Amino acid sequence: MEQILEKAKESMIKSVSNLSSEYLSIRAGRANPSVLDKIMVDYYGVPTAINQLAAISVSEARVLVIQPWDVSIIKEIEKAIQTSSLGINPQNDGKIIRLIFPQITEDHRRSIVKDVAKMAEETKVTIRSIRRDSIDRFKKLKKDSQITEDDLALAEKQIQDLTDKFCFEVDNLSNKKQKEIMEI
């Protein structure tokens, strides 16, 4: 019984963690180095993350500075950023690359907030699905006479408590990200 609860908890933690990393990659009008996390550069035939090839810093609220450790790779980094879904044109001065994030409109902010809320709801559906699967396993144990009716009731309560806790965490993450996006 404990194994089922532990496995459900691990799956729920992974779901929340995945949502959190997805939120980091959302561009909200201000410079955030994590928007580059999924962009890979061809470094001597090996796809490599930009943060492993360069120092990335925020010089101003909307400016990201990428300073490669090996200046000869600057063109490849620039090309990778241009071909990504980031939608920002890098400015290359030969030694560093600057990414200037444009100010986003109110309508665009609202659209992003809707996407954030949708991602949160999808994560909560995943968490509820984990709960349902766990309860089904507990019911099977009860049917096979491996646990009692009281054990089943206790297990259902514990899995519901876990579900509530992680759904609350998802709501907090979502509200925090929405607030961040709507700040001007």
The CA distances from residue 148 to 3, 11, 140, in Å, are 17, 26, 11
Domain interval for residue 44: 33-100
Question: What is the crossing angle of helices 106-143 and 149-182, to 10°?
Answer: 170
Model confidence pLDDT, tens digit, residues 92-138: 888 899 988 878 788 888 888 999 999 999 999 999 999 999 999 99
Residue 158 sits in the same domain as residue 110? yes
* Domain CATH code at residue 73: 3.30.1360.40
Which DSSP string corresponds to 109-124? HHHHHHHHHHHHHHHH
Residue 18 sits in the same domain as residue 51? no
Residue 51 sits in the same domain as residue 117? no
Residue 37 sits in the same domain as residue 20? no
Number of domains forming the structure of the chain:
2
What token pair was written down for 62?
A: 């909307």
Is the pLDDT confidence value at 85 over 80? no
Residue 17 sits in the same domain as residue 52? no
- Contact between residue 98 and residue 65 where contact means Cβ atoms under 8 Å apart: yes
pLDDT above 70 as % of the chain: 97
- Contact between residue 174 and residue 105 where contact means Cβ atoms under 8 Å apart: no
Is the pLDDT confidence value at 29 over 80? no
Among the candidates 42, 69, 100, a domain finishes at: 100
Residue 91 sits in the same domain as residue 39? yes
What order do you get walking across the sheet with 91-92 strand by strand? 54-60, 63-68, 97-100, 91-92
Residue 39 sits in the same domain as residue 59? yes
**How many whole angstroms from its chain centre is CA 27?**
12
pLDDT at 28: 67
Among the candidates 78, 100, 122, a domain finishes at: 100
* pTM of the predicted model as reported, rounded to 2 decimal places: 0.72
**How many whole angstroms from its chain centre is CA 147?**
38
Give the mean model confidence (pLDDT) for residues 11-32: 84
**Considering just the CA atoms, what is the radius of gyration of the chain in Å?**
22
